[in-house]
Every structure is written in structure tokens, then in C-alpha cells.
Structure 1
């Protein structure tokens, strides 16, 4: 009899816990919808975090990580989703890992996820990210491969934003690839390829006359050329 009573109490407790859990899930699902409706991002994060604890799922975790990343909270995004590559990673998970790691200035870690994005959906915009990141880590052949793809597949309506000025601006994606091409050629030989790089920058500037970053880079390359010429003109001891 005591055993039967104990079993009944245990079952009753489990049912109460299940009902309590379902009630909490329903509450936070409603809370999530309300916070989303009000545009309260912190409320959305809180609701999604509670739901992920009460009823864990990869989809919820991916969504929470994406919200963090979208709000510029890249450490929180990576802490939520991790940075290990998984065979069953969703498209959202791959995107979050790629963009968050790039924002955290971890190009070597970001590159494999951009490569997976490109593998799943090849396009010139992802190729630009890959070219830029490979330039940062001095993988020049890989950068060149993606630059060539971008130059061949940039559509006239595709744009790339730059933020080095107080007012962000956009240029044609093709001219942005030309800019990366100039940098890649320069990096192959920083002494003898300055003129070739400047010629490409001039062509890109004709494509996008508002491309301020090109003028900055061109001025720096010409300054380096003057330094090299001055050094060459000095009498040898």
C-alpha cells in the first residue's frame, strides 16, 4: 500500500511539473509575441532565452543567436551558438557564425563559414566577403579566386557599402571588387606592383566616382612609391 501511495504521489508530481512547464512555455510564447509586436528587442531576447531553457531546440537557439548578432552583440551570439562547424548547421546558424566571427575580427575562424555559405548559395556578395577576409590573412591565391568570380558575376544593380566617412556611402559591387583586386596585386609585390595597383584604382574610380576609400588607398600607395624612389636615389655607402 505504501509503495502504491508513493508511486501515485510521484506520478502526481510529474503531472504537476509537466503542466507547470507547459504553462510557462505558453506564457513565454505569448510574451515573445507581445515583445515582438512592441519592438522590444531586449524583451524578445528574454522571452527566447526562457523558451530555450524550458523547451530547448536548435531552431530557437539559432533564432536567439541571430537576434544577438543583428543587435551587434556578437560575443553573445557566439556564446549562444558556438563556433564549431556542424554537418547539420542550419543556414541561419552558418550565417550567424560567419558574420559574428568576422565582426569579432576572427577572419581565420570566419572564412570556413563563409565558404559554406558560398557552397550553399554561390553569389558575388559572399564572394566579396571571402576575398576580403582572405586578403586579411594574406591568402592571396584564394582572394584572387573570389575576386575573379566577383568581377565576372557582379550585376549592375549590386552595391557595396563603405563606412570610413561620417556618412556611409554605396558604390557598385564591381568597383568594390576592382578595389580588392588592386590590393591583391599590390600585396603580391609591395615594391614593384604599385603602379599596376594604382591603374586599377583609377579604373575603379571611373566606375564609382564617389569611392572615397579608393582615393585614400591611392594616396597611400603613391606616398609609398615616393619613399621607395627617395631610398633608391640615396647614394650607396
Structure 2
């Protein structure tokens, strides 16, 4: 009996030490996390949050950790942490991170589901543009038209859209961006509308003369339009 009591007391003592140890570690990593944020050390903040999530799992903390991953360009890590499924109960931060990470990971079919959740919660022209662009990429022209109409109707003159793919990055009025997308929509809906699509993209370039992407796409469409004529001319010469 005495031996049994000794074992029980020893077990209780171990649990107490473990609880105190976990509590001490949690306090340590909370302080470490605050310091890393203060220093702007993203890797340190990620490390601290990872330890905190092991010690005391918390969904809000997991969402924040995923945000740090995505913000560091570690999109696959963010996706693995949050998952890629459509979760209408997820926080705004989690859905935003999943949307951006899936888009960056070249998963437009999955990204569009996340942007759709965000648009349903609070519609705006920037989300409409993302949804328009993604739906055109995956060939859903009917869905794209919904967001095209929303954007053209609600876009304001002073709203700008940045394009980071170019070096240096630039921005254009979002109205010009929607006009450019309208040209793409016209072409995707009916390839015989190539002249109409080029004319619409020209309107976008007139609105934003620095719109490099629109100029590049216009050049491609013009070359595509002229290609058959050039081939016919070569055939006639032979």
C-alpha cells in the first residue's frame, strides 16, 4: 500500500513539474515572439509561433502563422497549415491567406473558391477583379462576366490597381484594368471577336498609357490576327 501511494505521489509530482515546465516554455516563447516582432524578424516569429502552437494549439495563432509563411513567400507551408478546402467558417485572415497562397502556387481553381468566400462576406472591386481574372484563367466565362459587370459598375476613378509582375512595378486605374479584362473576356467568349477585343484593350491603354500588360496582350492578339494572312501570302508565292 505504501509503495502504491509512493507511486501515485511520484506520478502527481511529474504532472506538476510538466505543467510548470509547459507554462514556463509558453511564457518564454510568448516573450520571444514579441521580441521577434519588435525586431521585424519574420523567421524568428515563425519559429516562436510554431513552438507556441505545439505547446498550446490555438486557431487564431495558426492563422497568424500561416499569414507569416505566405508573407515570406512560403506559400506551400501556409497551405499545408490551413488546408486548401473551402471552409466558410474560417476566419477572414485564414481565407485571405489561403486565397493569396493558392493563387501564388498556381492553383486558380482552388484560389477562386477562397476569393468567392471573401466576396460573399464583403464585396469590393478588388476582389471582383481577382475573381474575374481567375475565372477567365480556368475557362469559366459565365462566372467571369458576373464580376466583370460588378467591376465596371462599381469602379471609381481614383481607385488604382498595382501590377507587381513588371520591373519596376506600376499601377493603373482599376477602371482601365477592368476594360482590359473585358477585352480578354470578349476574346475568350468568342475567338472571332478578336477585332472587338483589340479595340477594347486599346480603350484600356488610352485610359492608362503605362499599362504594359495590356500592351503585351494587344501585340499577341494582333500577331494572331495577322498570322493567317501572312500564311496565305506565303502560300500564294509558292
Q: TM-score range by the shorter chain?
A: over 0.9
CA RMSD of aligned residues (A): 1.4
1:169 aligns with 2:170: yes
- Structure 1 unmatched runs, 5+: none
> What's the offset of the Cα at 1:102?
0.4
Aligned to 2:198: 198
What is the CA–CA distance in structure 2 between the aligned matches of 1:175 and 1:231, rounded to whole Å? 34
Cα drift, residue 204 of structure 1: 1.1
1:87-98 alignment, distance < 5 Å: 87-98=88-99
Per the alignment, residue 2 of structure 1 pairs with 3
1:34 matched residue in structure 2: 35
Question: CA distance change for structure 1 residues 226 and 147 in 2, over 3 Å: closer, same or farther?
Answer: same
Query: Distance between the aligned counterparts of 1:88 and 1:163, measured in 2?
Result: 31
Query: Is structure 2 residue 141 aligned with structure 1 residue 140?
Result: yes
Distance 1:131 1:86 in 2: 21
Question: Is the contact between residue 88 and residue 117 of structure 2 (CA under 8 Å) also seen in structure 1?
Answer: no
Supply the distance in 1 between the matched residues of 2:214 and 2:62 (Cα, whole angstroms).
Answer: 40
Instruction: Tell me by how many angstroms 1:164 deviates.
Output: 4.5
Q: For 2:172, what is the secondary structure of its paired residue?
A: strand
Give me the TM-score of the superposition, normalised by structure 1.
0.94
Mean alpha-carbon deviation: is it higher for 205-214 or for 121-130?
Answer: 205-214
Q: Return the offset for 1:203.
A: 1.2
Q: What is the deviation of 1:12?
A: 1.2
How many corresponding residue pairs?
Answer: 234
Offset at 1:17? 0.5
Contact 1:164 1:213 in 2 (8 A): no
Find the residue that maps to 1:193 and give its secondary structure.
Answer: helix
Q: Report whether the alignment pairs 1:130 with 2:141.
A: no
**How far, CA to CA, are the matches of 2:103 and 2:56 in structure 1?**
30
Q: Distance in 2 between matches of 1:65 and 1:59?
A: 10
* Bigger Cα displacement from structure 2, 87-96 vs 22-31: 87-96
Q: Tell me the CA shift for residue 218 of structure 1.
A: 1.3
| Structure 2 unaligned spans of 5+ | none
Contact kept, 8 Å, 1:185 with 1:193, in 2: the verdict is yes
Cα distance in 2 for partners of 1:165, 1:128 equals: 18
Deviation by residue 1:160-206 (Cα, 9 ceiling, x = unmatched): 1124432111000111011111001011222x211101111111112
Counterpart CA distance in 2 for 1:50 and 1:61 is 11
Q: TM-score, normalised by structure 2?
A: 0.94
* Deviations, residues 183-235 of structure 1 (Å, cap 9, x unaligned): 01011222x21110111111111211111122211121111111133456667
Q: Distance in 2 between matches of 1:206 and 1:230?
A: 28
- Show CA shifts across 1:25-71 (max 9, x none): 00000000111111111111110100010001111111000000011
